[in-house]
Amino acid sequence: MVRELIRVALGQQRADLVIKGGMLVNVYSGELLKDYWVAIKGERIAYVGPDGNHTIGDNTEVIELKEQVIAPGFIDGHMHLDCTLGTVEEFIRYAIPGGTTSAVVETTDIANILGYEGVISFLDIIKGHPMKFFALAPSLMPSLPTIEARPLISQEELEKIIACPDIVGLGETIWPFVTDEDPYVMDMLATTHKHNKELEGHSAGAKGNKLVAYVASGISSCHEPIKVNELLERLRLGIHVMIREGSIRRDLEALSQIKDLDIDYRRLILVSDGVDANDLLNLGYMEYIVQKAIDLGINPIKAIQMATLNVAEHFQLDKKIGGIAPGKEADIIILPDLRTIKPQLVISRGKLAAKEGHLLLSPKKVSYPPSALNSIRLPRHLEAQDFSIKSPVTTGEVKVRVIEVVSPVITQEAQELLPAINGTLPLIVERDILKLSVIERLDNTGRIFTGFIKGFGLKSGAFASSYSWESKSPLVVVGADEADMAWAINRIIELHGGLVICQNQKSLVELPLPISGYLSSLPLKEIVSKLEAVKETIRSMGSALANPFLTLQTLPGTIFPYLRINEWGLIDIKSKTLVNLIVS
């Protein structure tokens, strides 16, 4: 292969594809160069320079440019593929036309559900597409019932995963586990360090000595700064700072204030941290982020470097990708001009992959392992009484802790007096005190815990999901009626995973998520319209929540404050302890 590149450059052999005469964004020198040619042989670049006539033969496809701009394909340096709820094939269909040719993917969610074997299957699933994926080894997840580091895979398994060539590092490791010297985490860092791969960070909220201690461990990136001073504090500690602009958070506008500072940009990176189906279809992906950075006043060449070379350098991938140079993989986009990040043409792995927003190549057909397709494992179907809550007294009033929704992802503890009825505590729709249950779904235990929630606003029916954040993605259901809660969960079992809204034991909206209980096999467009239907239906059932699915999926999470729920009980995030439902 290298020999072919040499021969094409020397004019001894012909190129497959030649781009003739555009303005080249040279990410290495930081220049925009006029009248440049790029010649491609196979999947790689053979020639870059002022005259590529000698590389053209009878079978060479030639793309003639005028004033258009030639730039490297974008690389998303931090993302979660499951954010769209769709398959990797569907993701690629929308990512590539926008000019993103590579992404670095977290696998913690996969290890969470499917363990080591799941990660190994995933490495196979993401391979061989017209878009390139690199992956991070699974990091730790907070354990249940309380929040402690829990190994998802053994050290021996990590050792095997980290050595894989497509694995570029260890996934984001939340900072307190490091500064607290969790022994499992310390071993994970040492294993990764030994293989000279990256330790991806997650230092939200850390500052001063704690941030320094975290970085001293060898952590080499963070995508969590939301203010310029947080960005600078991290950059000055030598780590690669990722500016996040995606569906989870949008930090670019605030952080774009760096444009007025005289600093070195090489360790600044633009990332999505994951985009949902709606954003991917309607806003776009990395091209949207780069465009926004330029619109916010960041120098266009620097903005492009932040989504290409800077990312590649961070992950030691710059020998392969991140720039347009001889020997590099031919991942190239053609833009109308330097300030319009709307690729007219996308070349990926040396092939024309998209033109004017339309995909020209098909992703590989992916098949999922049986364990992924059978991930809702409960011992039996549920009934209304499975959701009853025992009262400590037969009659009279009882004070209980209630999860109160205060923003889409933030909750707080409320305390409410509820009447005991025949030794149980009821939900009270009129006071917006609904029931909320979390059900373990991987280990066939059927372990369930039911509490109360306020602020969700349903007047009837139930809303259930097998997609939830953190922990082992348990089933979560909120309801104004116990029979509907049982019905919704039972329907999810039948669908092998999904999102279900029901009323009077009749389905109103269903989005099947049969892959691991959190991915749909539907086209992204249908996922978007299903999610739109979810939003409207929940609203029609009385809820005023802006994004009820996001709120539902994050209720069992452990990364957002303050009162959360899992299958073991209510959890106080600040103290990392289980707290009683009944206020003693």
Question: Of 327 and 369, which CB lies nearer to a second copy in the complex structure?
Answer: 327
The answer, yes or no, to whether the previous bond of 145 is cis (omega within 30 of 0) is: yes
Structure-derived torsion over alpha carbons of residues 158, 160, 161, 164, reported in degrees to the nearest 10 = 150
In Å, what is the CA distance from 563 to each residue of 277, 402, 410, 449, 571? 29, 8, 9, 14, 6
- Residue 5 interacts with a second copy (CB under 8 A)? yes
Among 23, 40, 46, 206, binds a second copy (CB under 8 A): 46
176-184, 439-447, 520-528, 552-560 -> range binding a second copy (CB under 8 A)? 176-184
Among 11, 408, 426, 446, binds a second copy (CB under 8 A): 11
Among 61, 64, 181, 443, binds a second copy (CB under 8 A): 181
Q: How many CA atoms lie within 13 A of 449 on its CB side?
A: 20
Strands (E), 254-309: 268-271
Shortest Å, Cβ 272 to a second copy: 24
Matching residue, tokens 């049982």: 486
| Residue 371 token pair | 């364990």
Check: CB of residue 384 under 8 Å from CB of residue 437: no
Closest CA to 521 of 226, 196, 89: 89
- Residue 179 interacts with a second copy (CB under 8 A)? yes
Residues 314-333 that bind a second copy (CB under 8 A): 316, 319, 323-328
Check: CB of residue 356 under 8 Å from CB of residue 364: no
Question: Of 27 and 144, which CB lies nearer to a second copy in the complex structure?
Answer: 27
In Å, what is the CA distance from 250 to each residue of 87, 185, 200? 24, 29, 20
| Residues in contact with a second copy, shown as a per-residue x/- string from 326 to 365 under the rule CB under 8 A | xxx-------------------------------------
Shortest Å, Cβ 387 to a second copy: 45
Alpha-carbon gap, residue 190 to 201, rounded angstroms: 15
Structure-derived torsion over alpha carbons of residues 375, 380, 381, 384, reported in degrees to the nearest 10 = -130
Task: Estimate the crossing angle of helix 228-236 against helix 208-216, to 10 degrees.
Answer: 40
237: phi then psi, degrees, rounded to nearest 5: -90, 5
- Residue 26 interacts with a second copy (CB under 8 A)? yes
Among 254, 263, 281, 579, binds a second copy (CB under 8 A): 263
| Residues in contact with a second copy, shown as a per-residue x/- string from 47 to 86 under the rule CB under 8 A | xxx----x--------------------------------
- Residue 31 interacts with a second copy (CB under 8 A)? yes
Question: Of 236 and 390, which CB lies nearer to a second copy in the complex structure?
Answer: 236
On the 0-12 / 13-18 / 19+ scale of CB atoms within 10 A, 320 is middle
CA 518, 521, 525, 530 torsion-angle sign: negative
- Residue 32 interacts with a second copy (CB under 8 A)? no
Question: Of 11 and 369, which CB lies nearer to a second copy in the complex structure?
Answer: 11
Residues 438-497 that bind a second copy (CB under 8 A): none
- Residue 45 interacts with a second copy (CB under 8 A)? yes
| Residue 165 token pair | 């060539």
- Residue 417 interacts with a second copy (CB under 8 A)? no
- Residue 435 interacts with a second copy (CB under 8 A)? no
Among 62, 186, 359, 573, binds a second copy (CB under 8 A): 186
| Residues in contact with a second copy, shown as a per-residue x/- string from 201 to 240 under the rule CB under 8 A | -------xxx-xxxxxxx-x-----------x--xxxxx-
- Residue 115 interacts with a second copy (CB under 8 A)? no
Shortest Å, Cβ 44 to a second copy: 8
3-class secondary-structure state, position 269: strand
Give the bridge partners for 503, in sequence order. Answer: 506
Complete DSSP assignment for 35-79: EEEEEEETTEEEEEES--GGG--TT-EEEE-SS-EEEEPEEEEEE
Question: Of 111 and 168, which CB lies nearer to a second copy in the complex structure?
Answer: 168
Interface with a second copy: number of residues (CB under 8 A):
63
131-139, 142-150, 189-197, 449-457 -> range binding a second copy (CB under 8 A)? 189-197
Shortest Å, Cβ 432 to a second copy: 44
- Residue 30 interacts with a second copy (CB under 8 A)? yes
Shortest Å, Cβ 30 to a second copy: 3
On the 0-12 / 13-18 / 19+ scale of CB atoms within 10 A, 281 is middle
CA 385, 391, 395, 400 torsion-angle sign: negative
- Residue 267 interacts with a second copy (CB under 8 A)? yes
Question: Of 196 and 584, which CB lies nearer to a second copy in the complex structure?
Answer: 196
- Residue 305 interacts with a second copy (CB under 8 A)? yes
Closest CA to 137 of 101, 163, 176, 103: 163
Which residues contact a second copy (rule: CB under 8 A)? 2-3, 5-11, 26-31, 33, 44-49, 54, 178-179, 181, 186, 189-190, 193, 196, 208-210, 212-218, 220, 232, 235-239, 262-264, 266-267, 305, 313, 316, 319, 323-328
